[in-house]
Structure 1
């Protein structure tokens, strides 16, 4: 059997998936660009603010609002590593593993984070507080090793600073 794949986005009841504020915000973004498709990333970031991640129904709703194929929205969502397609903790810790951070203590820092959190990369603590992820670059190369917690960049971070740093994020 041959499966036929189309770019046709299934019609969904957008108002039952997205909040009125999200719909209004996405419509605002649409007006800032010559093509609605250009608002894809902005729409994904806006929707992600509510739950910390974007589920399949929300991807479909965004595609409907922008009148683009769902595959286009999915492509944007999976390309950008700060759009999360599965649940994450209340706080996301991104550990830079670029060559600059690697040479300045990445391995020791990553080991300490894993030890204190009791998780590996790609996992979330049992209490849902933290998700630990690697990232290829934070653009903080002169202050490596660096971490980003939510929207806060720290560096250089030493293993002995990890416990104190985690305390700031309840």
Structure 2
């Protein structure tokens, strides 16, 4: 029986007809809602997890009862994307579908819904520039023009050397430190045209600035999202809730027993 991916590929335009397809079909969001075959992305393209990553696959699957393997779709897609250089070919989605014993269409709908998944190739450094209101009024347009001028690309394009991809996106939740970009997994905030160029040059050298204490890096020297007066509250680290360490002494939790305890 012909796979769902192959059927889909037969019905949709090839890369050669991409321009015509773009004129005739609307896509929602920043990516096409359908698959287009390219030389490095067809249902027949080979993909499999590495031996090391299969250890992580098994660890993820162990978190769920055997009849709830589909709960692992998102973390396994993320793993596949990281292994494949930051994007998901259709063959990787098919592999995840096989592992979780789901119809390929169930995996496709997840990958096409969440913007964290890239179904077309992106650069080594994927720059997502927030253009929503707080960032816009704080200068995101200047940041976009700086990136475009310095790299010689426009929004949605990748540099010829495959190093950078630029994409303007909606709110990334760092409004207090606008304007900002998400560079792969990391947030760089409080940007100016000068610090944006410094960030790009550091990436070219393979040495992006290290993250700050709170997992993001304001590029103006401040810490986290403290205001111009510096830290004014929360002087002491709150004491975390106490956890019975004996609960996890064996290093594993049986999902089936959790389900029973929750009366599912």
Q: What is the TM-score normalised by the length of structure 2?
A: 0.56
Residue pairs, 1:1-150, within 5 angstroms: 17-34=48-65, 35-50=68-83, 51-150=85-184
Greater CA deviation, 160-169 or 39-48?
Answer: 160-169
Q: Which consecutive unaligned segments of at least 5 residues does structure 1 have?
A: none
More helix by share: 1
Aligned length: 160
Q: Is the 8 A contact 2:4 2:105 kept in 1?
A: no
Q: What secondary structure is seen at the aligned counterpart in 1 of 2:122?
A: coil
How far the C-alpha of 1:46 sits from its partner, in A, is: 0.7
Q: What is the TM-score normalised by the length of structure 1?
A: 0.85
Q: Is the 8 A contact 2:4 2:104 kept in 1?
A: no
Q: Which has the larger radius of gyration?
A: 2
Q: Which consecutive unaligned segments of at least 5 residues does structure 2 have?
A: 6-42, 205-264
